[in-house]
Structure 1
């Protein structure tokens, strides 16, 4: 970090970072999500009304619970996509410094490779009103290189929280420029 750079600074996205964020967009889903839920609602309502259990309170409770879950999922996906589009429109990334506070991987036993995430505890005083991202997805090489307690500098998209860059001493991880190194074979 240069002497004139602050620990928390916004910088413009470069062409590769813009392309990387665009690759995370789901073009059809946000618009079609509510239409899919409406079709699901109508079909479930028809099935419920035509069944022998049409007036059972438990049937209506199950129907309502299913609809709330579907709408919640649609809302979350739509909100995430709107945040991603807002980041692309703003064209900035946020640089912050902190410490690797937590690392975890998720292996469901069926798909390979597992997912890797790291959580950064940002330095206090940067922006007391900002909510730090809950964690960043990284590739296995980055996960294997950084350690708990390492001082890092990260760049991420401010609203959608995609990690763009991580610097840990001499090691630099740039998500948009990553080379997809083969993952070690499953043990």
Structure 2
């Protein structure tokens, strides 16, 4: 009888130890993933700081791209950083806009080309780019914002070129808008 009771008691002890070890493993996994999330945020902050510092070091710099070229897989998205410094004498509201103007397949053939008749880049990759609203800046202020590129799952392999403009007074392309600096170029390689 004593042996019969010993087996369930041992099983119960092992079960409790197993649950404790499982809980400890879950706690460690949570801390690891939380740490990775914090690392990602600090990398983002680091990129923002680098763009700000580059604008500070160039006193005549108005608009600056952090990284101008990235590889993005189909069905994925990524973010480009863009810095804006208001060198005007008064507060201005800035708008960032983007458009796709050229796409070349891996074999070198044009997928679309806005410089040709019937370029049709608006339908090929025009909806991939997303810019975030307006940015009100006092004179000499700097703001770093984001340009998002969302590559659809059905995108063809190749290189896609996007023009990014910064305007003030009104959104780019709207009456009364003034383009603030040269057009900046982003390149996305889709694979």
Normalising by the residue count of structure 1, what TM-score does the alignment of the two structures yield? 0.30
Between Structure 1 and Structure 2, the one with more helix by share is: 1
Q: State TM-score, norm by structure 2.
A: 0.30
Name which one, 1 or 2, has greater alpha-carbon Rg.
2
